[in-house]
Structure 1
Amino acid sequence: MGCDGGTIPKRHELVKGPKKVEKIDKDAELVAQWNYCALSQEILRRPIVACELGRLYNKDAVIEFLLDKSSAKALEKAASHIKSIKNVTELRLSDNPAWEGDKGNTKGDKHDDLQRARFICPVVGLEMNGRHRFCFLRCCGCVFSERALKEIKAEVCHTCGAAFQEDDVIVLNGTKEDVETLKSRMEERRLRARLGKKAKKPKAAESVSKTDVSEEPAGPSTVQTEKPEEPSLDSREKKISPAPRSAVNGSSSGKLVKPSGGTTKRSIADGEQSEAYKSIFTTHSSAKRSKEESAHWVTHTSYCF
């Protein structure tokens, strides 16, 4: 039962026993939670956003996930509660002046301190490496340590001065109990938002119906000071009466006098004139041709003989 090298296998190598429970390295877990995106597993880079459950993401990764969910089926559980970009908050982080990044270990001959964080608490100065509990405010996105909020109790943000409530405080990368509490708050918040939208719809419909049924506004007053009243149609007809017969001269003179106030047009040939005077006009019977005398063509002036 020897191997090629002459070794003899031992009992634990031949007999399969119960598997040992794998222990998760806490340091590696903290580094993965606080330095890498929970959706794309890439290093966190600005702009950094956080969801209502306290997980950290790259903003571009969230936008890609919302636009094309088929590419992130394997990581759908990490962002299944994110329905729109409004469900995440962009964080306002404070840089750590002692963090050098990869600049100090370009040759690979220096130890990288993974517990050195990129960001710190702007109030207390604690590093955001997972050793201390951090939280952010939904109203403004500022990030603080939990110790700072407990020691300096205030109803406004320590950085920007925005007012906040207890419901706006969300713990970053909290425990299972914290996640369950945040999840229940998220569901209640979304339920209130839905009920508020439903309540606004019937109010809007009522306002529209009221405007339709409302009475017409009162018209302008009948008293007019600037412009005089315009004459009615009856008065106009009375003013525009036909000229009297005396205005027209007899057949001996043959002259016409225009009526002074009238604007109506009357045919002179229809008046009481002599036959010689009427024969001047084309409407007279002597100017008309019979069918036998008329030509079979049409000239420019049909009354030229």
Structure 2
Amino acid sequence: MGCDGGTIPKRHELVKGPKKVEKVDKDAELVAQWNYCTLSQEILRRPIVACELGRLYNKDAVIEFLLDKSAEKALGKAASHIKSIKNVTELKLSDNPAWEGDKGNTKGDKHDDLQRARFICPVVGLEMNGRHRFCFLRCCGCVFSERALKEIKAEVCHTCGAAFQEDDVIVLNGTKEDVDVLKARMEERRLRAKLEKKTKKPKAAESVSKPDVSEAPGPSKVKTGKPEETSLDSREKKNNLAPKSTATNESSSGKAGKPLCGATKRSIADSEESEAYKSLFTTHSSAKRSKEESAHWVTHTSYCF
């Protein structure tokens, strides 16, 4: 009637009922979200980055994922929306002075306080352990609690003073509703960026194909007119300037009868200079001697015999 050894089985051992739904421990889930990387499942260490959906990653893990996108990685689905390093923002976190970390006793008889976090809100002082909602600004990367945003309403970052908009506020490790809202914003932002790139390309092509006419020097700036009129005007101007130039040359020279040296060529033999001055040049009659009259060598000193 029973199993071996005289044991009597009970009903729940023989009849299989519906499986019980396994409940996830909330504390363990919070620890996994706020203390471990979503991609590599390693402990978060600086530099820490966050995506546009509010998930936390180690920057080294994101770079490795972008360099090696293999289908074997099951955790790659969590970062499938990250296409480049520009899609993540490096976070500026404030350390918690009460956080001991690994400095305490590591023998195993230590009570780990799961509500104690490594980072806190620099404005209000709340610990970033998942019990309170935290967010970061996509423009500057500063992290603070959502309570700080509600209590101190401003259009400028509380820590660094950078201006931001509602679209720049991203909730960290939010609920499914928060993730859906952030996903819709992300898609709109990327579509807007693509449209801006498409509009910039044709403008750049037009600027290259059509250069500015105003900047081009030369004949483009000259006023167009009849060619015959311009040629006649230029000839008249040249004729008018010619007698003026000769008059200025005569006035500048000392003797009115003699023209300038560069104007006409004249021989020295016909000039009114003295014979001693004329004998210095080869055109003088004294320089024209026959070979018999001229010596074949010349002495410069009296010591040559």
Name which of structure 1's ranges 11-20 and 143-152 shifts more when overlaid on structure 2. 11-20
Question: Partners of 2:72 and 2:90 in 1: how far apart?
Answer: 21
Q: Residues 106 and 8 (structure 1 numbering): CA distance in 2 closer, same or farther, change over 3 Å?
A: same
Post-superposition Cα deviations, 1:26-74, rounded to whole Å, max 9, x if no partner, equal 1111111000100001111110000000000000000000000117621
Question: Partners of 1:131 and 1:215 in 2: how far apart?
Answer: 64
Matching residue of 2:197: 197
Q: Residues 12 and 160 (structure 1 numbering): CA distance in 2 closer, same or farther, change over 3 Å?
A: same
Matching residue of 2:62: 62
Post-superposition Cα deviations, 1:115-147, rounded to whole Å, max 9, x if no partner, equal 210000000000000000000000000001000
TM (norm. structure 1) is 0.69
Matching residue of 1:126: 126
- 1:213 positional shift: 7.4
Question: Partners of 2:51 and 2:85 in 1: how far apart?
Answer: 10
- What is the RMSD computed on CA atoms of the aligned residues? 2.5
Name which of structure 1's ranges 8-17 and 86-95 shifts more when overlaid on structure 2. 8-17
**Do residues 39 (structure 1) and 39 (structure 2) align?**
yes
Name which of structure 1's ranges 182-191 and 68-77 shifts more when overlaid on structure 2. 68-77
Matching residue of 1:146: 146
Post-superposition Cα deviations, 1:158-215, rounded to whole Å, max 9, x if no partner, equal 1111110010000000000000000000000000000000000000001001118778
Q: Residues 117 and 5 (structure 1 numbering): CA distance in 2 closer, same or farther, change over 3 Å?
A: farther
DSSP 3-state at the match of 2:187: helix
DSSP 3-state at the match of 1:57: strand
Contact 1:134 1:171 in 2 (8 A): yes
Matching residue of 2:217: 217
- 1:8 positional shift: 2.9
Post-superposition Cα deviations, 1:218-274, rounded to whole Å, max 9, x if no partner, equal 2799xxxxxxxxxxxxxxxxxxxxxxxxxxxxxxxxxxxx99xxxxxxxxxxxxxxx
Post-superposition Cα deviations, 1:71-124, rounded to whole Å, max 9, x if no partner, equal 762112100000000000000000001110122132211111122100000000
Matching residue of 1:227: none
Matching residue of 1:80: 80
* Percent identity between the two aligned chains: 91
> Counterpart amino acid of 1:82?
I
> Counterpart amino acid of 2:151?
E
Contact 1:65 1:71 in 2 (8 A): no
Matching residue of 2:208: 208
Moved over 6 A (4+): 212-215
Matching residue of 2:112: 112
- 1:7 positional shift: 3.7
Contact 1:105 1:111 in 2 (8 A): no
Q: Residues 110 and 3 (structure 1 numbering): CA distance in 2 closer, same or farther, change over 3 Å?
A: farther
Contact 1:140 1:162 in 2 (8 A): yes
Contact 1:121 1:143 in 2 (8 A): yes
TM (norm. structure 2) is 0.69
Question: Partners of 1:211 and 1:182 in 2: how far apart?
Answer: 44
Q: Residues 215 and 30 (structure 1 numbering): CA distance in 2 closer, same or farther, change over 3 Å?
A: closer
Instruction: Flag structure 1 segments of 5+ consecutive residues without an equivalent.
Output: 222-257, 260-305
Question: Partners of 1:6 and 1:53 in 2: how far apart?
Answer: 60
Matching residue of 2:158: 158
**Do residues 103 (structure 1) and 106 (structure 2) align?**
no
Matching residue of 1:185: 185
Instruction: Flag structure 2 segments of 5+ consecutive residues without an equivalent.
Output: 223-281, 284-305
> Counterpart amino acid of 1:106?
T
> Counterpart amino acid of 1:36?
Y
Q: Residues 155 and 215 (structure 1 numbering): CA distance in 2 closer, same or farther, change over 3 Å?
A: closer
Matching residue of 1:22: 22
Post-superposition Cα deviations, 1:267-304, rounded to whole Å, max 9, x if no partner, equal xxxxxxxxxxxxxxxxxxxxxxxxxxxxxxxxxxxxxx
Q: Residues 50 and 174 (structure 1 numbering): CA distance in 2 closer, same or farther, change over 3 Å?
A: same
Matching residue of 1:295: none
Contact 1:105 1:112 in 2 (8 A): no
Q: Residues 122 and 6 (structure 1 numbering): CA distance in 2 closer, same or farther, change over 3 Å?
A: farther
Question: Partners of 2:212 and 2:158 in 1: how far apart?
Answer: 51
